[in-house]
Amino acid sequence: MKLEKVDVHTHLSPASLGHVLPLLEAQGIRTVVNLSGGSGEQLDVQLEAARRYPGRVVVFCTPDFESPDPAELELMQLRGCRGIKIYKSLGLGITRADGTLLPADDPSLDALFEKAGALKLPVAIHTGDPKAFWLPVTPQNERYDELTVHPDWALAGKKVPSFDELLAQFERRVARHKNTTFIGLHFGNDAEDPAAVDAMLERNPNLFVDTAARIPELGRAPSAKLREIFVRRQDRILFGTDLAAGDLPGQLVLGSPDRRLPSQADVARFWSATWRFFETNDESFPHPTPIQGRWTIDGIGLPEGVLKKIYRDNAVRVLGL
């Protein structure tokens, strides 16, 4: 089913647009959100690259959370930024002056998030990580392949909040700013528990979620129950991939970086498994990103009207396209 799509979650270098946009358009993805706008000179370079492709690339920026200044958001918006990207380092890495971790819901950031709402800048926020990242990195860990490639992602034994505490920080932040639109990246930062995300969406009307890099987790949930959630929340779910692209053709990351660049077969699998998940009721097929886990997934066969909203219409509304 070839429906027009907006990918709300990509990470693209400025020089990549010439080769990656045609690749995406071949999949029906006409518009992308580049979450790697950053700040300062990096943001200027990203915005200039995006302007060469009118209507194709929406750029999100990242403010300084160590010295938060709401006025910075207004200046970024004037330069062309259309939303805010918050990395998982908020809650896991950024520290206060005394060296303690800065929680995602720390009151010192309240004015920043209120300003985002006033400016109608949606906030795309990644908080925490898959639950297995808190477990020892052994062959019994279901994310062993990924964590051996990225040992710095492992959180076992580190002085960081638990998964549950980070998720609670995330929701407290969303609930505190009812006039600010939040996009909970990676399916609300809790793709392993779609029912919990469903409940969180019920509690927070200003929250949306994307599907980026979480089809492996979503696809192993009971397909009938997951389909019910997607249909019920069809106005609150946004399509995203977490695809990243470097300067040269072929420098792609398909959801999670591997030791090697993906082959053409890897790229074909990524797309075919993605559409198969959303559009078919097929069972026990390989998911898009092998490094993220050695299991198969089931499709949820969404109706065309629901697909149109998730693939495109919700993003158009949330982003004001």
275: left (phi over 0), alpha (psi -120 to 50) or beta: alpha
Percent of the chain with pLDDT strictly greater than 70 = 100
> Which structural domains are found in the chain, ordered by start?
5-319 (3.20.20.140)
Beta strands (DSSP E) in 13-135 are 29-34, 57-61, 83-86, 123-125
Q: What is the DSSP letter of 298?
A: -
Report, in angstroms and rounded to the nearest whole number, the Rg of the chain calculated over CA atoms. 19
- Between 303 and 258, the higher pLDDT residue: 303
Q: Residue 305: which residues within 8 A CB-CB, separation 6 or more?
A: 234
Per-residue pLDDT at 1 exceeds 80: no
Q: How far apart are CA 66 and CA 131, in angstroms?
A: 27
Q: Residue 254: which residues within 8 A CB-CB, separation 6 or more?
A: 241, 243, 262, 266, 267, 270, 288, 289
The pLDDT, as a whole number, for residue 205 is: 98
Q: Is the dihedral of CA 31, 251, 280, 278 positive or negative?
A: negative
At 97, list the tokens.
Answer: 């002056």
Q: What's the pLDDT tens digit per position in 99-117?
A: 999 999 999 999 999 999 9
Identify the CA nearest to 23 among candidates 291, 288, 248.
Answer: 248
Percent of the chain with pLDDT strictly greater than 90 = 96
- Between 57 and 257, the higher pLDDT residue: 57
- 22: which strand partners? none
Q: What's the pLDDT tens digit per position in 28-81?
A: 999 999 999 999 999 999 999 999 999 999 999 999 888 889 999 999 999 999
Distance of CA 182 to the CA centre of its chain: 12
From the number of C-beta atoms within 10 Å of its C-beta (0-12, 13-18, 19+), residue 60 rates as buried
The pLDDT, as a whole number, for residue 65 is: 87
- Is this model's pTM higher than 0.85 or not? yes
Q: Degrees (nearest 5) of the Cα angle 163, 183, 56? A: 135
The pLDDT, as a whole number, for residue 106 is: 96
Q: What's the pLDDT tens digit per position in 195-244?
A: 999 999 999 999 999 999 999 999 999 999 999 999 999 999 999 999 99
Model confidence at 275, pLDDT cuts 50, 70, 90, reads very high
Q: Dmax of the chain from CA atoms?
A: 54
